Structure 1
Amino acid sequence: MHVISIISTKGGEGKSTHAANLSGFCADAGLRTLLIDGDYAQPTASSYYHLQYEAPYGLYELLMLTADLNQPQQLISQTTIANLDLIISNDPHEQLKTAMMHAPDGRLRLRNLLQHPAFSGYDVVIIDSQGARSIMLELVMLATNHSAVAMIKPVVPDVREFLRGTIPLMEGLLPYKGFGIALPPVRILVNCMDYTNLAKEALTAITKIIDEGTYSSTDIPVSMLATQIFDLDVYKLGHSLSQPAHRLEYQTDRRTPPAAQSIHDLACELFPEWTARFDVVLQNQPKGDK
């Protein structure tokens, strides 16, 4: 089971949108996929897709240990997208943050819970996170066993926020290596890319910093994803229709690649062992309602 997280210490970077789109694409490729909404402040991923079954519990009960994992239907909802399940965020009063801060196993609780047999049937678990540096983001990072996808828009302030937010957060988690817990590699995904000079300059700046390894004095694995997500209205349309964007756009006359190609390329980069499955999605072109 691959557990990946979509992270940023800044809000509005597109984490929820692309956690949902990547989840939908993996599900259409036939992978058993679980999307966990870990953003209690703005639980966008919880309402991205329509549900055919809504569980009475969610993230709050999972982390507070009040749900019976031997009855997973208590907290795992089923979306109308085949193969895609969801654990909703249901902590509007932000009680989890305090509870996990004071629990002896707080930062490791989600990591430990995902070892339960209730989750063993999933191929992929994708965790959306809050856009802020907090214990909840630390908890998500430590639960990640595959990759942490860091969302960055191609503007200099967002690059700076990554360097002063995400990197220090990871440096603070390095002591967990003493417990045999390796930090996941961080893979930077540029979102809302365009062809302006400002975007190109910001991309050049962050690429140079990563290539030269000047982002940290410690051994934190960070790399750039080759895939870039362009600023397209189809992603907003997909959200409004409760459909993954790839179902809405397989071809385009624009200079930019269609949404289906971008999400396909992202999935292949993250999970190269399933490239053949992802190729089939482009061949079959499952459709969503427009």
Structure 2
Amino acid sequence: MYLKSNGYTPLGAKPKICPVVSTKGGEGKSTQAANLGGFLADAGIKVLIIDGDHAQPTASSIYPLAYEAPCGLYELLMQTVDLSQEESIISRTTIENLDVIVSNDPRNLLPTYMLNAADGRVRLRNALSKPLFSQYDVILIDSQGSRSVMSELIILAATGEMIGMVKPVLPDVREFMRGTVALMEELLPYAAFGISLPHIRMLVNCMDYTLLAQSTVEQAENIIINGAYSQHADEISISMLETRIYDLDVYKQGHASGLPVHRLEKKTSRKSDSAFSSMYKLACELFPEWQHRFDALAEKGAANV
């Protein structure tokens, strides 16, 4: 039922590089990066997920690997891998069109190295400009839930937008404003080098139908609309995605089965959206130019229910 591509040709001249960021841990960055990547891949879009959570890697282990490359994020940033040899750095998942670069820094050395390297904060950006990565339509970069040089280099690699993850809990919203937005403020000087900061698309994860959750989301929306999140709101752009990711057991099932959630739940009798509907809406908001592909996947899914 899933769309396939043979002799793949990228859909655009350059890949869209979209980090998934929050300076707070446990917001669901890895889960949603993997599920979005799985949905895009099934729609015939070639995707690379980079597991940038060097301390607690998750995104690169959600889906089984058909091939695991000997190198990963560590060698990519340390510039010790030959990027003309694809098989040395690119691992293949069992999902067609979905590849990964694994996180492999168990001794937590990368933050120190990148902090002390003159070009540390732009190494990932520079690496992703190499010909190897032009085969992809979308590169999703998972990140660690912390405010660090690793988060900075991931943000600076973006080509236009990044997903900012937040749960509908007021302390989490406040931490997003204090942590993620403050991190962006520290990166503003890179404009002098021609590097524009990505537009933040805030994604509410683990949504429910309580009045408290709804009130929290409304407060976050008002902060964004009024530009009250930063004194540099004219330079740091935020908007809230209309898609909500609901707090459903199917996301745990996805981890357990090693499958993207849209394959596991296409329809539901609940008030909340099904997993397929949530991923479809999210993909359409982030990549509207490929909606026809998402529509085709939805039609095939409906035909097989």
Q: Does 1:45 align with 2:55?
A: no
Q: CA deviation at 1:200?
A: 1.1
- 2:248 corresponding residue in structure 1: 232
In structure 2, distance between residues paired with 1:145 and 1:105: 18
- Report sequence identity in percent: 59
Q: 1:103 aligns with which of 117, 132, 140?
A: 117
Q: TM-score normalized by structure 1?
A: 0.98
SS at 2:135 equivalent: coil
1-side partners of 2:146 and 2:212: how far apart? 25
Partner of 2:239: 223
Deviations along 1:4-36, one digit per CA (max 9) or x if unpaired, are: 010000000000000000000110010110000
Distance (whole Å) between structure 2 residues aligned to residue 115 and residue 223 of structure 1: 27
Specify which of 147, 150, 153 is matched with residue 133 of structure 1.
Answer: 147
Q: Does 1:58 align with 2:72?
A: yes
Q: Give the Cα separation in 2 of the matches to 1:284 and 1:92.
A: 42
CA shift, 1:72, in A, is: 1.4
Distance 1:141 1:158 in 2: 20
In structure 2, which of residues 133, 136, 150 is the aligned counterpart of residue 122 of structure 1?
A: 136
What secondary structure is seen at the aligned counterpart in 1 of 2:17? strand
Gaps of 5+ in 1: none
Distance in 1 (alpha carbons) for counterparts of 2:271 and 2:38 = 25
Look up the SS of the partner of 1:91 in the other structure.
coil
Aligned to 2:10: none
**One-letter identity of the residue aligned with 1:19:** A
| 1:286 to partner: Cα distance | 9.4
Name the structure 2 match of 1:269: 285
In the TM superposition, structure 1's runs of 4+ consecutive aligned residues that sit over 2 Å from their partners are: none
Q: In the alignment, residue 109 of structure 1 is paired with which amino acid?
A: R
Q: How far 1:284 sits from its partner (Å)?
A: 1.3
Please say if residues 49 and 79 of structure 1, whose CA atoms lie closer than 8 Å, have aligned partners that are also in contact: yes
C-alpha deviation, 1:175, in angstroms = 0.3
User: Contact 2:160–2:197 at 8 Å: present in 1 too?
Assistant: no
Contact 1:247–1:286 (8 Å) recurs in 2: no
> 2:82 corresponds to which letter in structure 1?
D
Q: Offset at 1:146?
A: 2.6
Task: Describe the shift of the 1:286–1:111 C-alpha distance in structure 2 as closer, same or farther (beyond 3 A).
Answer: farther
Equivalent AA in structure 2 for residue 223 of structure 1: S
Which aligned pairs between 1:5-16 and structure 2 lie closer than 5 A? 5-16=19-30
Note if 1:213 corresponds to 2:227: yes
1:52–1:78 contact (8 Å) kept in structure 2: yes
Tell me the SS of whatever aligns to 1:151.
Answer: strand
Q: Distance in 2 between matches of 1:266 and 1:32?
A: 17
Given the alignment, which residue of 201, 211, 217 partners 1:187?
Answer: 201
| Distance in structure 2 (CA, Å) of the matches to 1:284 and 1:44 | 30
Partner of 1:280: 296
CA distance in 2, matches of 1:284, 1:242: 21
Aligned residues: CA RMSD: 1.3
Note the alpha carbon deviations across 1:102-160, whole angstroms, 9 max, x for none.
11110000000000000011000000000001000000000011311010000000011
Using the alignment, how far apart are the partners of 1:121 and 1:200 within structure 2? Answer: 41
Q: Which residue in 1 is equivalent to 2:9?
A: none
The equivalent of 1:73 in structure 2 is 87
Per-residue Cα deviation, 1:146-187 (whole angstroms, up to 9, x for no partner): 311010000000011011100110000000000010000001
- Say whether residues 1:249 and 2:253 are aligned partners: no
Aligned to 2:170: 156
Q: How many residues align?
A: 288
- What residue in structure 1 maps to residue 8 of structure 2? none
SS at match of 2:50: strand
Alpha-carbon distance, 1:197 to partner? 1.4
Provide, for residues 172-207 of structure 1, a one-character-per-residue CA deviation record: whole Å limited to 9, x for no partner: 000000001000000100000001111011111101
Q: Deviations over 1:46-100 (max 9, x none)?
A: 1100011110110001100111001011010000000000000000111000000
Shift of 1:281: 1.4
